[in-house]
Amino acid sequence: MNDLNKKLILSFLIVFFLGTVALFTLREATESKIRNLNVVSNVPSFELANFNGDIFTDNNLTNKITILSFVFTSCPDACPIMSQNFSILQERFKDSDLIQFVSITVDPEYDSNDILEAFSEKYSNDSNWYFLRGDINYISTLSEKGFFLSASLLPAGHSTRFVLIDKQKNIRKYYEGTDDAAIMELQNDIVFLVNEKI
Where does this chain bind another protein (CB under 8 A)? 4, 15, 18-19, 22-23, 25-26, 28-33, 35-36, 38, 40, 92-93, 95-96, 173-174, 180-181, 184, 187-188, 190-191, 194
Q: Return the number of the residue (35 or 197) whose C-beta is nearest another protein.
A: 35
Query: Please, which residue, 22 or 55, has the CB nearer to another protein?
Result: 22
Nearer to another protein, 158 or 173 (CB): 173
Residue 73 CB, shortest distance to another protein, in Å, is 28
- For residue 65, the minimal CB distance to another protein (Å) is 12
Smaller CB separation from another protein, 37 or 78 = 37
Nearer to another protein, 38 or 137 (CB): 38
Find the shortest distance in angstroms from Cβ 172 to another protein. Answer: 10
Cα→Cα distances 167→36, 39, 64, 83, 176, Å: 17, 12, 5, 22, 21
- What does the alpha-carbon distance between residue 128 and residue 98 come to, in Å, rounded to a whole number? 9
Supply the minimum distance, in Å, between the C-beta of residue 31 and another protein: 8
3-class secondary structure for 80-122?
Answer: HHHHHHHHHHHHHCCCCCCEEEEEEECCCCCCCHHHHHHHHHH
Q: How far is the CB of 173 from another protein (least distance, A)?
A: 7
To the nearest whole angstrom, how small is the minimum distance from the Cβ of residue 185 to another protein?
Answer: 8
Bridge-based pairing of strands 99-105 and 41-42 is unpaired
d(CA 16, CA 19): 5
Contact yes or no for 195/189 (Cβ under 8 A): no
Which CB atom, from 27 or from 145, has the smaller least distance to another protein?
A: 27
